[in-house]
Every structure is written in C-alpha cells, then in structure tokens.
Amino acid sequence: MSDLDTLFEAARTVRERAYAPYSNFLVGAALRAPDGTVFTGCNVENASYPVSVCAEGGAVSAMIAAGYRQIAEAVVVGDAALCTPCGVCRQRLKEFGTEDLIVHVADLNGIKRSFSMDELLPAAFELEHKKD
C-alpha cells in the first residue's frame, strides 16, 4: 500500500468517528509528517457552530501534542467530492506544512483532486509579514 493509500484509509476510517449531529456532514483528515508518522482528526460539532472543531484542526492538534511540527502530505475525506479545508484550516496547514505540502481531497471512493498550498491559499499570512 502506498503512503497516499495509507493516508486515505486513515482519513476515511477516522471520518466514521466524527461527531456531527447538526450537519450530518462527517469529515476525516490524516496528516503525514516527514518521517512517515500519521496523525488523524475528525470534525466535532457543537450547538454553537463557531466552537466546532474541523477534522484538520484535530489532526494538527494531535500532531503538535505528539511533538511534531511539520506536515508533508494531507488527505481530507468528506461527503462531497471537493471537501476542501476551510480558510482557518488552510492557514493551519500552511503554518505547519513543508514547502511542497500537497493536500488531497477525497470522497469515500478515493482521491478526487490534489492541491498545492499556493493553490489553496494564495498570498497566505505568514509570520514574516507581521509588523512589530
């Protein structure tokens, strides 16, 4: 099984654990660190939507909690053919992504499209843009 197949299966599996009683839109994400370690996350909704957690955010939190700081590749699996990360998650992925990070989006049947971070988030906010 390829690294991408492993990531897809991890994202698809964790998607089934999502807590989405309000939207019924289950999402799973799997991130691969440069050394091959995989971290997963699923969306967790709340009656107050702004405090819900996206799948990508959960996976990034798991990665950070394990002491990792870089994402080499990511897969997001949702019920839609193009379940791309939201704006907040795009920024999260950019912040921790390697320069060549590719984000693959998939439905339950497989990868539908792959994006570079520049495609997903052109002119991203970066710390060097911050004024002191």
Catalytic residue positions, numbered: 56
Instruction: Determine the Cα–Cα distance for residues 12 and 77; give it in Å rounded to an integer.
Output: 6
Q: Please state, in angstroms and as integers, the Cα–Cα distance from residue 128 to each residue in 4, 35, 125, following that order.
A: 32, 27, 9
